[in-house]
Each structure stands twice: as structure tokens, then as C-alpha cells.
Amino acid sequence: MPSKSQPIFPHEKRILLDFGERIRLARLRREMSASLLAERSSISRVTLHRAEKGASNITIGVYLRVLAALQLVDDFNLLAKDDVLGRKLQDLELRQRRSS
């Protein structure tokens, strides 16, 4: 039985839409057809089109292969690189330990 899809919030949808648009623009700047990028990414042209539209059901692996085909895979390493909230929480916990 297929699992029920989780809702996606408007802010998250905007992030995906913007990401898809950046992928599309990167492809166009390279003067690469959608068919060629899809082939180099080992995905269908339909899947690429959905990724460029920011579809929420595209897997992160697909995005990684598309970025690799665009020679942007190093950008993938920037995801969640600076965990500002996590560092603040960690610092707060360390301060509480010292004062105990």
C-alpha cells in the first residue's frame, strides 16, 4: 500500500521552485538541451522537467545526478553546511554544563 504523501508548506514549495529554476537556468547558460541533460543525469526528460519545476516528489539522488551533470556537484556539499541553530544549542548546553 503506498504511503500517504506529506504536506509541503508554502515556504518549502518556494524553495523547491527556486531550486528548480536555478537548475533550468544553469542548463540554459550551458546551452544544453533538456534531453542531453536528462541523458547525462540518467533520468527521463519528464523527470528533469519535473525537477526544473520544483516537484516535491523528486528524490535528492536525482537532484545530485543533475547537479553532477551540470558540474555543480560541489554546491551539493553546501547543503546544511552551517548549522547555526545546532551550534547555538550546543553552546547553550556547554554553558549549562559549566555552570552546574
pLDDT of residue 75: 92
| Residue-number span of the structural domain to which 41 is assigned | 10-99
Per-residue pLDDT of 6-21, as tens digits, reads: 889 999 999 999 999 9
Q: What is the mean pLDDT of the chain?
A: 92
Q: How many domains does the chain have?
A: 1
pLDDT of residue 1: 54
Q: Domain containing 71 — which CATH number?
A: 1.10.260.40
Q: Is the pTM of this model over 0.95?
A: no
pLDDT of residue 49: 98
Contact call for residues 72 and 63 (beta carbons, < 8 A)? no
Least confident range of 23-32, 45-54, 81-90: 81-90
